[in-house]
Amino acid sequence: MSSTERQLLTIIAEAVLEQRLIDLVKRLGAKGYSIGHVRGEGATGRAALDFAGPSVRLESVMTDEVVDRVFEALAADYFPHFAVVAWVVPVRVARPERF
């Protein structure tokens, strides 16, 4: 198979952030995303915001440039204020123009 590399971004966040996060990744250049729902607990470092309830799990495969932009936005506008965790994994895709 083709070994073109893209970045898979996964964000786990308070459910109330779902639409804002969708808008964020689309605005910054992601061509698609999927949303699932999970429950969990996370260490956010701000006790009042630690989550322990229904959360949204957003995943989106994107280019390096887009993932950098999304992470900068998360760091500036979300990490300080909300219960959000995120991670990035390089993935191989077959049709890179789709992401």
Q: Which residues bind its own copies (CB under 8 A)?
A: 1, 6, 8, 12, 26, 31-45, 55, 57, 61, 67-68, 71-72, 74-75, 79, 85-95, 97-99
Distance CA 95, CA 2 (A): 8
CB 32, min distance to its own copies, A:
4
Q: Which is nearer to its own copies, 6 or 17 (CB)?
A: 6
Plot region of 16 (φ>0 → left; ψ -120 to 50 → alpha; else → beta) = alpha
Q: Which is nearer to its own copies, 24 or 99 (CB)?
A: 99
CB 36, min distance to its own copies, A:
4
Q: Which is nearer to its own copies, 48 or 94 (CB)?
A: 94
CB 66, min distance to its own copies, A:
12
Q: What is the dihedral of CA 42, 44, 50, 56, to 10 degrees?
A: -60
CB 43, min distance to its own copies, A:
4
CB burial string 72-93: b at 16+ within 10 A, e below: ebbeeebbeebbbbbeeeeeeb
